[in-house]
Amino acid sequence: MRGAYLLIAFSAALAACGQSTDQTASSNGAEQAQNRSAPAAGESNGDWSSLSEYVGQHPVDSKFYDESPIAPQLRNLLGDKLNVLMQNSDTAAPLQRDGEVFFTSGNKDNEGGSDAFYLLVDPSAKAVEVGLWENGELTVYKTPGSDIPKPQDIQTTISNTEM
């Protein structure tokens, strides 16, 4: 009987970790952007108000992806793609802030445009959005229900890859 309860609990946990995918064509129709969502932000803990201490630092050097308050959210959101984010961060800009939104972007060394990323964090909503370009194809991972405003630098990054 206990085994049945464990199986039900395990199945429910797996279902809660599922990701939905919504594909939409980019403005030029040549590329596909995938929008994937992760488990709710409430699953991540930590004091997101401390993100200011990372501003001006390179995300890999500061261990932003590994040790910051958003690290659990990134692991839930990206899964195995966290390694892609880290590789695409070879030439990342330091973490910046635009109003309440923290952001950075960059690309894999010598792979600008085809293997790149952007990261948005809204601490007040405990929301994260990551855009990953792999071989020129954009996949967007975001906290369900979130709509983080994109700073001008990120809008430019996205526009430049659509050319």
| Residue span of the structural domain in which 153 resides | 51-162
Q: What is the pLDDT of residues 18-45, one digit of tens each?
A: 333 332 233 333 233 344 444 343 444 5
More confident residue, 7 or 54: 54
DSSP secondary structure string for all residues of 105-141: EEE-TT-TTTSEEEEEEETTTTEEEEEEEETTEEEEE
Q: What's the structural domain count of the chain? A: 1
Of 91, 92, 70, 47, residue with least CA distance to 141: 70
Whether 83 maps to a domain, the answer reads: yes
0.75 exceeded by the pTM?
no
Residue with tokens 């995938």: 34
Whether 31 maps to a domain, the answer reads: no
Return the SS3 of 158: helix
Q: What is the pLDDT of residues 78-94, one digit of tens each?
A: 999 999 999 999 889 99
Whether 138 maps to a domain, the answer reads: yes
Whether 36 maps to a domain, the answer reads: no
Whether 58 maps to a domain, the answer reads: yes
Amino acid at 161: T
Q: What is the pLDDT of residues 95-106, one digit of tens each?
A: 999 999 999 999
The confidence score (pLDDT) of residue 117 equals 94
More confident residue, 68 or 41: 68
Q: What is the pLDDT of residues 122-146, one digit of tens each?
A: 999 999 999 999 988 999 999 999 9
Of 158, 145, 65, 148, residue with least CA distance to 101: 148
